[in-house]
Chain A
Amino acid sequence: MTQLIDYLLGGLGSGMIIALMALALVLTWRATRVVNFAQVGQAMFTTFVALTIQTLTGSWLVALVAAIIAGALLGVIVQYLVLRPVRRMDTSGAIIATFGVLIALQAAAGMIWGGDSQAYPQPFGNTALTVFGREWPVSAYDLVVVGFGVVLVVGLTLLFTRTDLGLAMRATAFNPEVARLSGVRVSRTLTIGWALAGIVGAVAGVLVAPTSAISPNSFDILLVFAFTAAVIGGLDSLVGAVSVGIFTGLVLSVVSGYSDSSNAPVVALFLLALNLALKPEGIFGHSKARAV
């Protein structure tokens, strides 16, 4: 039993990172109705930017800020150049285009920073904390990760529920045409949504990098986990993405703990397939009538 609790606690940090990446996917989906498979590519790229800044300045925080700025910029650029023109075309085209962006970003990162895995400096202690005379499978860094996640989620929730901008964003996601008629500046609202998605992804990237290493395709598997979480959460639901994201992290941690970490992708795949087979619209999503 204590072992189970340990595994669950150990999954908190990675769960929060999956939740953030899923959140980025959902934000883009709400803004453009395109699943941005390049989101992890953007996060990988901004994390490399952060690593460069970190090496130059030696400050973890400055690097994080750089990643956030780069993430917002890259988010807006990708959306303007690719996703916005492509969303009026067939769905296949839009999906393929995002994978094109992913391939190009990974290649560009490989060109600039090389293809080898590079270590990302640990800003805080990564050893297990000892509280009440017992060693817990949680490090100071895990707490930082969870803290950042909570701040972001709370901030976004406040933004969406308590501000005019949030109201405009929700209206735009619900129905762009009606929102426009009600005086919402849809195009500006969408741009902010894309920038937000880029920022959330960038933060997730910087947070996950020290626990592993960073290379052009080291986030591929994170894409699978985040997509799983976003879809099970309902793709449309911010609450769903975050809660299912954390849940996914916990499940994967337990699976890795009791068996082997190489099982994690297979389990995620199983969860995704199960969800798509039983409840394709997700737990927090609204069911849509099927045409045929």
Chain B
Amino acid sequence: MRDLMRLPGARLVLHAAIAIGAWLALTWVNGAVDPLMNYYIALVAMYATAMFGMVILVGLSGQVSLGNGALMAVGGYVFALTTLNWQTIPFTVIPMNGIWAMLFAAVGGVLFGLLIGVLGARLSGPYLAGLTLGIAVGIPAIANRFPELLGGETGLQLTVPYPDGGYAPVVEEVDQQFVEELPTGQDELPTGQDPLASDGSGDLLTSDNFPSGDASVAPDDLLTSDNFPSGDASVAPDDLLTSDNFPSGDASVAPDDLLTSDNFPSATPDASALPLDPGSTDVSGVDVSGVDVGFVLERWQASLAVAVACIVGFLALNLVRGRQGRAWRAVRDDPVAAAVSGISPARSKVSAFVVSSLFAALAGAVFAQILAYVGPGAFGLGLSLSLLVGIVLGGRSSLVGAVIGAVLLVWLPEFVLSLSNDRGWEEQVTNNAPNLIYGLLVVLVVLVAPGGIVGTLQALVGKVVRRARKAG
């Protein structure tokens, strides 16, 4: 096995096998569970995508960044703006679709990452953390600066680009659960953050320019999992997004399967395409038994998030376990020694920023599609802190740790909610309990087990193996 791995390209093949295996497994799971579970899978995959970048930036490159939530905002807003405003790609006749929008989001993320990275590469420790903290607070505030373009406090609604053959049911309720799991979200709704954010400036603020009017608007328009339309719950497991008819390939979710200019969100949805319409026999939402099952938005969102997470995970695996990963670690551990060995510390730090912001932007574009909304509240400081919490708990420099952290971020609030339903806790206790646990756990992990869950397990396994060797 070891000899086999020495073959050129063997590692690439192995990593591809891991990514494709994960994708196949998750796609199968996705087809077998109910929409609520699809929604959780989508969230986990979205978090994991962003946290792969955090592992590279914080874990490998040693740069503590709080800006990745803001970089997700860049991805989300670019995605929203391009899908909302462009029918075709500018200067061409190529019709816009979800894939193109995600590519634009990626480009936006790379550019921003380059900018922050060049600025941040000169900085270390608390200076970098402070600068990225400012970015996490400042970038979402830009949305308020351009209310016409970016929707201001209210944010932008968008219809998720969906594949041919079905129309997403329009669900317009706030997702209370998601809101609760943002660490600084407290029990406020997403946009609650920014009017408060202005408080710091104290008397700079006058009642005329205080944007309070908008605060209550956006949350109600978000997507929910709580009041999920009951019609979808009965959907048969094997409908249009199972591995058979899932757009072939992973990256190659074929453009025509996504949105084309014909069925672009702005166009009125064809009545026959609505999932609950019995007459929709011409759409692909008909399973073998001939029963109309329609299109499940959550399943589509989960498939998309999983596909993106697997592609990003494949890239991250190659980077982390390759030459670049060694360079990042070398610069983190001893910049002088790394420089002497011919690695440019500055270039290495900037590249970590660019890679992580590329991943963050893709995650942001996925997040925009999960929420069907982008707004300053959804991408606030809380999101950045969540990402940090996730990788610290999972294991700062481990990609597996990122996945574990992502699961924790989604699972813990649900767990607390179910506990609270059993014990009848007050709402403000339930809403804040996850963050209290996160905060205490982060401190505890840093003090006691800096390697997080994965690092601790590795250390334990290593100890057991060594003891076994000694004994044997």
Interface of A with B (CB < 8 Å)? Answer: 10-11, 13-14, 17, 29, 34-35, 37, 81-82, 85-86, 89-97, 99-108, 110-111, 114-117, 139, 142, 208, 211-225, 227-228, 231, 235, 252-253, 256, 260-266, 268-269, 272-273, 276-277, 280, 291-292
| Distance A60 CA – B261 CA, assembled complex (angstroms) | 63
Question: Which residue of the partner chain A has the closest CB to B116?
Answer: A273
**Do residues A292 and B130 form an inter-chain contact, with CB atoms below 8 A?**
no
- The residue that A227 contacts in the complex, of B130, B186, B428, B436, with Cβ under 8 A, is B130
| Distance A60 CA – B122 CA, assembled complex (angstroms) | 46
| Distance A214 CA – B58 CA, assembled complex (angstroms) | 32
In the assembled complex, how far is the CB of residue B18 from the closest CB belonging to chain A, in whole angstroms? Answer: 27
Extra contacts, 16 of them, besides A261-B198, A272-B130, A276-B123 (Cβ < 8 A), are A11-B204, A96-B64, A96-B388, A99-B442, A106-B439, A107-B435, A110-B432, A110-B435, A220-B197, A224-B137, A224-B200, A260-B209, A265-B134, A268-B138, A269-B135, A276-B131
**Do residues A262 and B211 form an inter-chain contact, with CB atoms below 8 A?**
yes
Given A100-B442, A292-B335, A107-B436 contact (CB < 8 Å): yes
Chain A at the B interface: mostly helix, strand, loop or mixed?
Answer: helix
**Do residues A92 and B62 form an inter-chain contact, with CB atoms below 8 A?**
yes
| Distance A225 CA – B204 CA, assembled complex (angstroms) | 13
**Do residues A213 and B196 form an inter-chain contact, with CB atoms below 8 A?**
yes
Residues of A within 8 A of B429 (CB): 111
Residues of B within 8 A of A37 (CB): 129-130, 133
Question: Which residue of the partner chain A has the closest CB to B392?
Answer: A96
**Do residues A35 and B130 form an inter-chain contact, with CB atoms below 8 A?**
yes
- Size category, B interface: 35 or more
Could you tell me which residues of chain B, from 157 to 211, have a CB within 8 Å of some CB in chain A?
183-184, 186-188, 192-193, 196-206, 209-211
**Do residues A115 and B431 form an inter-chain contact, with CB atoms below 8 A?**
yes
Question: Which residue of the partner chain B has the closest CB to A223?
Answer: B133
Residues of A within 8 A of B382 (CB): 217
Residues of A within 8 A of B133 (CB): 37, 223-224, 227
**Do residues B126 and A97 form an inter-chain contact, with CB atoms below 8 A?**
no
**Do residues B204 and A108 form an inter-chain contact, with CB atoms below 8 A?**
no
**Do residues A265 and B141 form an inter-chain contact, with CB atoms below 8 A?**
yes
Could you tell me which residues of chain B, from 343 to 398, have a CB within 8 Å of some CB in chain A?
345, 381-382, 385, 388-389, 392, 396
Mask, B435-466, CB within 8 Å of A = 1, is 11011111100110010000000000000000
B271 at the interface (CB under 8 A from A): no
Mask, B300-341, CB within 8 Å of A = 1, is 000000000000000000000000000000000001100100
B89 at the interface (CB under 8 A from A): no
Q: Which 5 A-B pairs have the closest CB atoms?
A: A104-B439, A100-B442, A221-B200, A115-B186, A212-B199
- The residue that A252 contacts in the complex, of B204, B389, B441, B443, with Cβ under 8 A, is B204
Question: Which residue of the partner chain A has the closest CB to B435?
Answer: A107
B25 at the interface (CB under 8 A from A): no
Residues of B within 8 A of A276 (CB): 119, 122-123, 127, 131
**Do residues B447 and A97 form an inter-chain contact, with CB atoms below 8 A?**
yes
Chain B at the A interface: mostly helix, strand, loop or mixed?
Answer: helix
**Do residues B439 and A102 form an inter-chain contact, with CB atoms below 8 A?**
yes
In the assembled complex, how far is the CB of residue A194 from the closest CB belonging to chain B, in whole angstroms? Answer: 16
**Do residues B438 and A103 form an inter-chain contact, with CB atoms below 8 A?**
yes
Interface centre among A82, A100, A223, A256 (most CB of B within 10 A): A100
| Distance A105 CA – B203 CA, assembled complex (angstroms) | 25
Given A13-B203, A111-B436, A115-B431, A272-B134 contact (CB < 8 Å): yes
Residues of A within 8 A of B129 (CB): 35, 37, 95
Residues of B within 8 A of A218 (CB): 196-197, 199-200
Given A92-B64, A100-B443, A261-B205 contact (CB < 8 Å): yes
In the assembled complex, how far is the CB of residue A51 from the closest CB belonging to chain B, in whole angstroms? Answer: 14
| Distance A97 CA – B339 CA, assembled complex (angstroms) | 30
Question: Which residue of the partner chain A has the closest CB to B201?
Answer: A264
In the assembled complex, how far is the CB of residue A109 from the closest CB belonging to chain B, in whole angstroms? Answer: 8
**Do residues A14 and B203 form an inter-chain contact, with CB atoms below 8 A?**
yes
Given A220-B200, A262-B141, A276-B122, A97-B131 contact (CB < 8 Å): no
In the assembled complex, how far is the CB of residue B416 from the closest CB belonging to chain A, in whole angstroms? Answer: 11
B418 at the interface (CB under 8 A from A): no
| Distance A57 CA – B298 CA, assembled complex (angstroms) | 53
Residues of B within 8 A of A272 (CB): 130-131, 134
In the assembled complex, how far is the CB of residue B310 from the closest CB belonging to chain A, in whole angstroms? Answer: 28
| Distance A219 CA – B130 CA, assembled complex (angstroms) | 15
Residues of B within 8 A of A224 (CB): 130, 133-134, 137-138, 200
Residues of B within 8 A of A96 (CB): 64, 388, 392, 442, 446
**Do residues B125 and A225 form an inter-chain contact, with CB atoms below 8 A?**
no
Residues of A within 8 A of B433 (CB): 107, 111
**Do residues B183 and A89 form an inter-chain contact, with CB atoms below 8 A?**
no
**Do residues B446 and A86 form an inter-chain contact, with CB atoms below 8 A?**
yes
In the assembled complex, how far is the CB of residue B4 from the closest CB belonging to chain A, in whole angstroms? Answer: 36
**Do residues B141 and A266 form an inter-chain contact, with CB atoms below 8 A?**
yes
Given A115-B431, A252-B204, A292-B345, A91-B446 contact (CB < 8 Å): no
**Do residues A91 and B124 form an inter-chain contact, with CB atoms below 8 A?**
yes
| Distance A233 CA – B429 CA, assembled complex (angstroms) | 40
In the assembled complex, how far is the CB of residue A286 from the closest CB belonging to chain B, in whole angstroms? Answer: 15
Residues of B within 8 A of A103 (CB): 183-184, 385, 389, 435, 438-439, 442
B94 at the interface (CB under 8 A from A): no
| Distance A227 CA – B439 CA, assembled complex (angstroms) | 21
**Do residues A266 and B142 form an inter-chain contact, with CB atoms below 8 A?**
yes
| Distance A264 CA – B145 CA, assembled complex (angstroms) | 10
In the assembled complex, how far is the CB of residue B184 from the closest CB belonging to chain A, in whole angstroms? Answer: 4
| Distance A268 CA – B428 CA, assembled complex (angstroms) | 33
Given A108-B432, A227-B134, A220-B127 contact (CB < 8 Å): no
B83 at the interface (CB under 8 A from A): no
- The residue that B145 contacts in the complex, of A108, A266, A277, with Cβ under 8 A, is A266
Residues of B within 8 A of A277 (CB): 119, 122
**Do residues A269 and B130 form an inter-chain contact, with CB atoms below 8 A?**
no
Given A221-B197, A262-B198, A115-B336 contact (CB < 8 Å): no
B144 at the interface (CB under 8 A from A): yes
| Distance A93 CA – B428 CA, assembled complex (angstroms) | 30
- The residue that B204 contacts in the complex, of A94, A106, A216, A256, with Cβ under 8 A, is A256
In the assembled complex, how far is the CB of residue A247 from the closest CB belonging to chain B, in whole angstroms? Answer: 14
In the assembled complex, how far is the CB of residue B131 from the closest CB belonging to chain A, in whole angstroms? Answer: 6
Residues of A within 8 A of B124 (CB): 91
In the assembled complex, how far is the CB of residue A172 from the closest CB belonging to chain B, in whole angstroms? Answer: 19
Given A106-B183, A115-B188, A292-B339, A100-B200 contact (CB < 8 Å): no
Residues of A within 8 A of B145 (CB): 260, 262-263, 266
Given A265-B138, A268-B134, A292-B335, A273-B119 contact (CB < 8 Å): yes
Given A14-B201, A35-B130, A110-B187, A86-B432 contact (CB < 8 Å): no
